[in-house]
Amino acid sequence: MINLIRSLGRWGLGTFERQGRAHLFLFNMLLGIPGLFLRFSLVVQQLFSVGVLSILIILISGLFVGMVLGLQGYNTLVDFGAEESLGVLVSLSLVRELGPVVSALLFAGRAGSALTAEIGLMKSTEQLSGMEMMAVDPIRRIIAPRFLAGIIAMPLLAAIFSAVGILGGFLVGHGLLGVDDGAFWSQMQAKTDLYDDILNGVIKSVVFGFVVTWIALFEGHDATPTSEGVGRATTRTVVHSAFAILGLDFVLTALMFGDE
Amino acid sequence: MPLVKIRDLHFYRGNRAIFDGVNIDIERGKVTAIMGPSGTGKTTLLKLIGGQLRPHQGTIEVDGQDVHKLSHSQLYELRKRMGMLFQSGALLTDLNVYDNVAFPLREHTDLPESLIRDLVLMKLQSVGLRNARNMSPNELSGGMARRVALARAVALEPMMIMYDEPFTGQDPISMGTLVNLIHRMNDAMGLTSIVVSHDVAETAEIADNIYLLSDGKIIEQGTTLQLKHSSSQWVQQFMQGLPDGPVPFHYGGRDYADDLLNPEENA
């Protein structure tokens, strides 16, 4: 019993200590961001690797998610004779929920894991230490540009996901199931609000980008500098990011749409 | 006045004392070797001098400045005048040899690219790798990687350079090259060098002064000649690489015969 309490206490202390390190790490990253505007090329390079290289998976996934939404939505709506509203269903589902959430999950799997592995390997091969000894702060030179790039890339990827998804829904709805294209687009335009729907979706994806990139970079920086340690850190990035995305999605949805 | 002055250094990992009241003076313009068996904290000492670790007690002064009382920016200013050669080389793997050597120059100076090119080629020439400038770090052998790292470490013309196990895992030719380079760089550039190593012959060849570390303490200190003639059995065992002596061949524990005759007591 004593041992159980002791290990619980150890776990609790370890968790708090880790949380403390993660927040100090975040603080240092945020301090490094203003300096990046003088060397924006560092951010552009990272935008390419976390953003541009994630586009393919976002395009393909977005298209299929939209097509499935089109099929499932039509089957439900047609029972009520409301199949003309398919455009609204597809666009609201994507812009409010699926766009930010699914693209963030994909982003965590594609770019987040890559960031953790990259930083973890830089740590284990003493590249970060080497940089410190060359009087170059790795948090500002290596970590902060990746953090900012993640925050910028995430809403753009979510927007691409939603746009391609709507196109997928249209292809299935109009091309396969015969929904009127005018009704599809006009109802979508009429019922999708710029502020309530699109802006809230963008806010969600910015928050997800912030959290996922923070988790990925911290896990890499805090990884045990061995191949096993880096592997475990990469796994933790994907798992913790998924929990964070889904948990925060509920909180944000309750705040944004809870009183409708 | 020594360039690096270490006084009453205590450093612990968990309950284990890595340093237990260590005093070291690193003289300017000299090659000082810190030697000792694996796991005695030689690399830790370099990290303490570079301010990457903080001692639990004691002070480390570099060029008259207490490293652990400096602010973040003051520490980084000091590090511009300190070079460090890591065991792995610690080259940035996404940059080629040329860009690795140019990295500190680009980060800390506003020199035009044409001048940076000249400086990089001069540094690479001094380590014999000018024509390897377009290679990526993963194409280099261990010895070449360390030579590139050496060129990078001296790019900003530091006052001192710390070498972490520079000879480990090197073939005889690479080892000879590195010994020669460390010696030549120290003399030609007026550097102060700290070499952490357990390769006795190579280190003794270039060191002006040697400190022998064991169990968190300085066991012996002196020139190579003084150490070779030391009356300490421990020093003799270490310097001559004898398998048995004060540091026993067998790890301490139960008696051999007792262990064989009473197997049920094995835990």
Per-residue pLDDT of chain A (260 residues; tens, 9 = 90+): 889 999 999 999 999 999 999 999 999 999 999 988 888 999 999 999 999 999 999 999 999 999 999 999 999 898 888 888 899 999 999 999 999 999 999 999 999 999 999 999 999 999 999 999 999 999 999 999 999 999 999 999 999 999 999 999 999 999 998 888 898 999 999 998 888 889 999 999 999 999 999 999 999 999 999 999 999 999 999 999 999 999 999 999 999 877 66
Which residues are bridge partners to A159 per DSSP?
A: none
Contact A134 B79 (CB under 8 A): yes
Q: What is the pLDDT of residues B221-250, one digit of tens each?
A: 888 888 888 878 788 887 777 777 777 667
pTM: 0.86
Collect all residues with Cβ–Cβ distance below 8 Å to B178 and sequence separation of at least 6: B143, B146, B147, B150, B166, B167, B170, B202
Do residues A147 and A115 make contact, with C-beta atoms less than 8 angstroms apart?
Answer: no
Contact A133 B107 (CB under 8 A): no
Distance from CA of A207 to the nearest CA of B (A): 30
Distance from CA of A143 to the nearest CA of B (A): 14
CA distances (Å), origin A173, targets A99, A176, A177: 19, 6, 5
Q: Which residue has the higher pLDDT, B42 or A57?
A: A57
Does any domain span residue B38?
yes
Does any domain span residue A24?
no
Residue B80 with chain A: CB contacts under 8 Å = 135
* C-alpha to C-alpha distance for B209 and B30, rounded to whole angstroms: 8
How many beta-carbon contacts under 8 Å exist across A and B?
A: 52
Q: Is B19 part of the contact surface with chain A (CB cutoff 8 Å)?
A: no
The total domain count for chain A is 1
Optimal mutation site among B71, B73, B94, interface A, most CBs of chain A within 10 A: B94
Residue among B80, B90, B104 minimizing CB distance to A126: B90
pLDDT at B188: 85
Q: Could you report how far apart the first and last alpha carbons of chain A are, in Å? A: 49
pLDDT at B265: 60
The total domain count for chain B is 1
Q: What is the pLDDT of residues A84-105, one digit of tens each?
A: 889 999 999 999 999 999 999 9
| b/e sequence B76-88, b meaning 16+ C-beta within 10 Å | bebbbebbbbbbb
Contact B104 A132 (CB under 8 A): no
| Domain span holding position B173 | 4-95+156-230
Distance from CA of B159 to the nearest CA of A (A): 13
pLDDT at B141: 86
Contact A134 B103 (CB under 8 A): yes
Give the number of residues written for chain A: 260
**Other C-beta atoms within 10 Å of B215: how many?**
14
* C-alpha to C-alpha distance for B36 and B247, rounded to whole angstroms: 12
Distance of CA B6 to the CA centre of its chain: 16
Does any domain span residue A8?
no
**ipTM attached to this prediction:** 0.82
Contact B86 A135 (CB under 8 A): no
Contact A132 B90 (CB under 8 A): no
* C-alpha to C-alpha distance for B197 and B219, rounded to whole angstroms: 15
pLDDT at B240: 77
Q: What is the pLDDT of residues B128-185, one digit of tens each?
A: 889 999 999 999 988 889 889 989 998 888 999 999 988 887 788 878 888 888 888 8
B65-66 and B57-62 beta bridge pairing: antiparallel
Contact B104 A133 (CB under 8 A): no
Q: Considering chain B, what is the average pLDDT of its residues?
A: 87
A153: buried, middle or exposed (CB in 10 Å: 19+, 13-18, 0-12)? buried
* C-alpha to C-alpha distance for B68 and B50, rounded to whole angstroms: 9
* Confidence class for position B267, pLDDT limits 50, 70, 90: low
Q: Is B103 part of the contact surface with chain A (CB cutoff 8 Å)?
A: yes
Does any domain span residue A14?
no
Optimal mutation site among A27, A31, A39, A133, interface B, most CBs of chain B within 10 A: A133
Does any domain span residue A106?
yes
| Domain span holding position A137 | 43-253
pLDDT at B126: 86
Contact A133 B50 (CB under 8 A): yes
Stretch B202-226: mean pLDDT: 87
Q: Is B93 part of the contact surface with chain A (CB cutoff 8 Å)?
A: yes
Does any domain span residue A85?
yes
Does any domain span residue B187?
yes
pLDDT at B229: 82
User: DSSP label at B24?
Assistant: E
Q: Is B74 part of the contact surface with chain A (CB cutoff 8 Å)?
A: no
Contact A129 B90 (CB under 8 A): yes
CA distances (Å), origin A256, targets A92, A212, B226: 14, 21, 78
* C-alpha to C-alpha distance for B168 and B83, rounded to whole angstroms: 19
Does any domain span residue A10?
no
Give the nearest chain A residue to B84 (CA atoms): A133
Does any domain span residue B131?
no
The phi-psi region of residue B253 (left if phi > 0; otherwise alpha if psi is between -120 and 50; otherwise beta) is left
CATH of the domain at B77: 3.40.50.300
pLDDT at B70: 92
pLDDT at B248: 67
Provide the percentage of residues in chain B whose pLDDT is more than 90: 40
Q: Is B104 part of the contact surface with chain A (CB cutoff 8 Å)?
A: yes
Give the nearest chain A residue to B79 (CA atoms): A135
pLDDT at A178: 87
pLDDT at B137: 92
Does any domain span residue B243?
no
Which residues are bridge partners to B218 per DSSP?
A: B213
pLDDT at B32: 92
Stretch B206-213: mean pLDDT: 89
Q: Is B147 part of the contact surface with chain A (CB cutoff 8 Å)?
A: no
